[in-house]
Amino acid sequence: MSYFSAGCRRGDRITGNKKKFDPSSWKTPYGTMMLLCMIFFMILYTISLKSGVEYEGVIAKLQSGVSREKHPVGDVETAERMEEIFGSEKGVIQMDARKIKIMLDSPVLFDSGSAELKASSLDVLFKVARVLRETRNKVNVAGHTDDLPFRALPGGNFELSTLRAFNVIRYFIDIEKIPPSRFSAYGFGEHSPVAPNTDAAGRSRNRRIEISILRETAGKEGAKT
């Protein structure tokens, strides 16, 4: 037997043992990748059904390695601290791309028709101040009222809401020694309601103080409440 003939037979055996190429073999890894993506987004959707602060906290932590500027973790931690303080009792925490907002019902801080802080309100504001000291963000304080006429002051509801916001800021500056340059006060009177002023429940929601901590990226743009 010649060397050439033996080589050919060995080549035939090797060729015969090779697997044929399957043009549909890409479907298995592609299907697995699609399944993993679906599971990932289902997890995100489930998280989003919880509070907005928790959802944004997860997103920020996922993206912090990619873009810390867009989702600074410090802002998320501030919102979580505020949520720990207030829960669902005395305040409502809202967080968006521009600010972390704490909405306090007026009775928590003030008696009806008064702009003087109640003694019982100092404990609430002390807890807020502890969180504010841990940041350098700008803070806007806004006062709001219902639509019932208020004639005890010349400026009516506008003046009452502004004085309330100013007195909250005075507490942070005079008592807690937080730099005045961080604060701005606004009074909206009855002109920025969160509920219809058609019944007692709606009016009660509209009588509120909003403390907005501007987020790091929004603070650089000079954002307002």
pLDDT digits (tens, 9 = 90+) for 160-189: 999 999 999 999 999 999 999 999 999 999
Given a cut of 80, whether residue 159 has pLDDT beyond it is yes
Provide the 10 A C-beta neighbour count for residue 56: 21
Which secondary-structure segment (H or E) carries 3?
Answer: helix 3-17
- Whether 18 maps to a domain, the answer reads no
CATH number at residue 166: 3.30.1330.60
29-68 pLDDT, tens per residue?
A: 777 888 888 888 788 777 665 555 555 555 555 554 444 4
Looking at the 3D structure of the chain, how many domains does it have?
Answer: 2
Distance CA 100, CA 206 (A): 19
Radius of gyration for the alpha carbons in the chain, expressed in angstroms and rounded:
30
| Alpha-carbon dihedral 20, 22, 23, 28, rounded to 10 degrees | -160
Q: What percent of the chain has pLDDT over 70?
A: 71
Shared-domain flag, residues 118 and 158: yes
pLDDT band, very low/low/confident/very high, at 24 (cuts 50, 70, 90) = low
In a domain, 143, yes or no: yes
Helix (H) or strand (E) holding 180: none
